[in-house]
Amino acid sequence: ILTPDRLIRGVKTLPLDWTPFQRSLTILHKRWTAIQKEVDSFRKKNNLSPTDPIDPKTIEKLQNSIPNAPRKLNILIMGGSVTMGVVCHLNPVTTQTGKYSRRACAWPGRLNTFFPYLFGYYDLVNIDSLALGGTNTESGRTIWDYSILPDEIPYPDILINGYATNDMHYNSVQDAIKRNVTLEQSVFELSQSFIRQVLTPK
């Protein structure tokens, strides 16, 4: 049960157009259906029940053997040094286990590790990270505007802005002071400009 106040605030955060969400879910569903078909066929051939576990490596082989498999959902994460994973590899937990490099230790790398577990080892999502230390949303807007993306990164279905830390940088504060606006107003305008840039068809 929601209070009227929370309901109003909740509605304000909902997207006005659900089409992009529907498109993303359709991409996921098509690929999931294709993989599930192969898994069901494997279960039938090996007399396995729907609840019998299948080794993750077997699932990987099954989904790699699908001819003309529907594509994955492409997610691009753009950000600064935090997104890049600077100092992340010095985390005591990480250094004790010794299993993460700086990039893999960063949150985009961990997200990439998490998704297969979330989807039952079905490889549905492709995550690319375009992170560079010292950059902020304004840098990201320029990168997007001039299409300065590596050739190996596919056009994203979902774009995540990971510049928040650098948007609150000392230089951003000084820029807001020069323009006689608050830091909150400056960051809001910058974020709004970035979103409009991304949503503008090329």
Which of 28-37, 47-56, 75-84, 96-105 has the least mean pLDDT? 96-105
What confidence score (pLDDT) does residue 157 get?
Answer: 94
Quote the percentage of the chain above a pLDDT of 90: 47
Dist CA 94 CA 102 (whole Å): 10
Dist CA 72 CA 28 (whole Å): 7
Dist CA 158 CA 192 (whole Å): 17
Mean pLDDT value of segment 99-116: 79
Give burial (CB, 10 Å; 0-12/13-18/19+) of 163: buried
**Considering only CA atoms, which of 95, 132, 88 is closest in space to residue 110?**
88
Quote the percentage of the chain above a pLDDT of 70: 85
pLDDT grade for 101, boundaries at 50, 70 and 90: low
Strands across the sheet containing 158-162: 125-131, 73-79, 158-162
Are 160 and 75 contacting, i.e. CB atoms less than 8 angstroms apart?
Answer: yes
**Using alpha carbons only, what angle is made at residue 191 by residues 130 and 131, rounded to the nearest 5 degrees?**
10
* pLDDT tens digit sequence for 67-89: 999 999 999 999 998 898 887 76
Q: What is the pTM of this model?
A: 0.83
> Coil, helix or strand for 128?
strand
* pLDDT tens digit sequence for 150-180: 889 999 999 999 998 888 888 888 888 998 9
What confidence score (pLDDT) does residue 49 get?
Answer: 94
What confidence score (pLDDT) does residue 25 get?
Answer: 94
